Chains A and B, each alone.
Chain A
Amino acid sequence: MTYFADVAALARKDLLLELRSRDTLPAMLLFVVSALVVFHFALPSDASATASTGLLWIALLFTALLGLARAFVAEREQRVLDGLVLAPCDRSAIWLAKALGVLAFLGIAELVALPAYHVFFAPVGWELVAALALADLGLAAVGTLLAAMAAASRARELLLPLLFLPLVIPVVVGGVGATVADDPGRYLAFLGLYDVIFVILSWASFEYVVSE
């Protein structure tokens, strides 16, 4: 049980920090709406609704990247991570707390993005919401691990998209497929499979990313 108490304490710390400084979440919200507006002008006027679905997924992917790039900034600047690694808690608790924080930010960004998409482009169906929920899980899990990797490198924010995008191509396939195909069940199942594989892998390997 102490494991989950550690996770809760760490997650609360991140949320409190964000509430005080407000650097990440407003930026994500503004970004996702701006991206949707830009996409309206990027689409030819006779484009189909399917094309706008693809663009929604791209907007959300880049919003996630924006949040992830900030995920370990405080830790790196204040050298908190070294302290956390020495603290008597399981290191994967750090990952779980961070991933939960990222998931919460992504969820809030989507609470803004989906109504905006509904108004600007096309109505939002249940498949899209289900696919987003499943995709967020995978994006947060993989993204948090890769953000910790990128934070350890010299290139930092520059490296994160390069590591992140090839790994989340399956998420885009599953997400777009669930939204536009006739049988969303297969694609939702695929997203679930992706989540299971990569949540376990990220959870198990985070320890090696932060320790030597």
Chain B
Amino acid sequence: MFLAAAAAGLLVAGLALALLWAPEDADQGFSQRIFYVHVPIALTAYACFAWGAWKALRLLWIRDARYDLESYTAVHMGVIFGVLTLVTGSIWAKISWGVWWTWSERQLVLFLVLFLFYCAYFMLRFSVESGPRRANLSAVYALFGVALIPVSFLAIRLAENFIHPVVFTRDGPQMSGSMLFVFSVCLAAMLALFASLYANELAGKRLDARLRELREALE
């Protein structure tokens, strides 16, 4: 409850600050304000995947079955935030460069790879009987995910050199103090949103699993 309230409050504050109060960017003008939603969401998606991998590691380590659902829920949230990153990034590309997709934007390409990778995670989960075997397989795959993130990032950097030279860059001048403040509020809002969605989704998934057990016991 507290988390949901905090998320709601921070989101409203972040939205208001980003759209009304934040200083206009010298280079990109108004369109720079998409930064306050796109980047916090991307960072939150990484946090989700890292959290899922951490829970996966705990599962393999301690062999406590409850970590399976926790890891699954975190990856589930990560995919939702990942899709949002792709969509908002695509809109930003459209504003800045007039195209919906550009292969020179590393973060976007990385999120596309991660999106494909974690969609396969769902395919894997849905095609294995539930039980300790599925928990182990999902956990190993989630761990591969966090190893893939830096390796892919490096790969995408390297690929730019031979696919085409870097023309566009978003690394403008350093953020000013007030921009950093707005950005922090937005990041906190997204993390709080993740935490409250995660708690809800986890409760729902646990309830679902308990009900299934109950049905098996009764029938």
Contact = CB atoms under 8 A, between A and B. Distances in A.
Asked if chains A and B come from one complex, the reply is: yes
A159 interface: yes
B148 interface: yes
Nearest to A162: B120
A95 to B, nearest CB: 12
Contacts of B155: 169-170, 173-174, 190
A153 B116 contact: no
A122 interface: no
B137 A152 contact: yes
B130 interface: no
Chain B interface main SS type? helix
A12 interface: no
A211 B141 CA distance: 15
B117 A208 contact: no
Interface in A139-188: 142, 145, 149, 152-155, 159, 162-163, 165-167, 169-170, 173-174, 176-177, 180-181, 186-187
A209 B140 contact: yes
A198 B131 CA distance: 26
A177 B162 contact: yes
Interface in B30-68: 60
Interface residues of A, number: 34
A73 to B, nearest CB: 17
Interface in A188-211: 190, 193-194, 197-198, 201, 205, 208-209, 211
A166 B129 CA distance: 24
Nearest to B115: A166
B123 A177 contact: no
A46 interface: no
B158 A186 contact: yes
B207 interface: no
Contacts, number: 93
A127 to B, nearest CB: 13
B124 A176 contact: no
B120 A166 contact: yes
A152 B143 contact: no
A209 B161 CA distance: 37
Contact of B124 (A153, A198, A205): A153
Contact of B159 (A165, A173, A193): A173
B62 to A, nearest CB: 13
B127 interface: yes
Contacts of A209: 136-137, 140
Given A149-B141, A212-B131, 20 more contacts: A142-B144, A149-B137, A149-B140, A152-B128, A154-B127, A155-B123, A155-B127, A162-B123, A166-B114, A169-B113, A169-B155, A170-B148, A170-B155, A173-B155, A173-B156, A174-B155, A177-B159, A198-B144, A198-B147, A201-B144
Interface of B: 60, 113-114, 116-117, 119-120, 123-124, 127-129, 131-133, 136-137, 139-141, 143-144, 147-148, 151-152, 154-156, 158-159, 161-162
Interface of A: 142, 145, 149, 152-155, 159, 162-163, 165-167, 169-170, 173-174, 176-177, 180-181, 186-187, 190, 193-194, 197-198, 201, 205, 208-209, 211-212
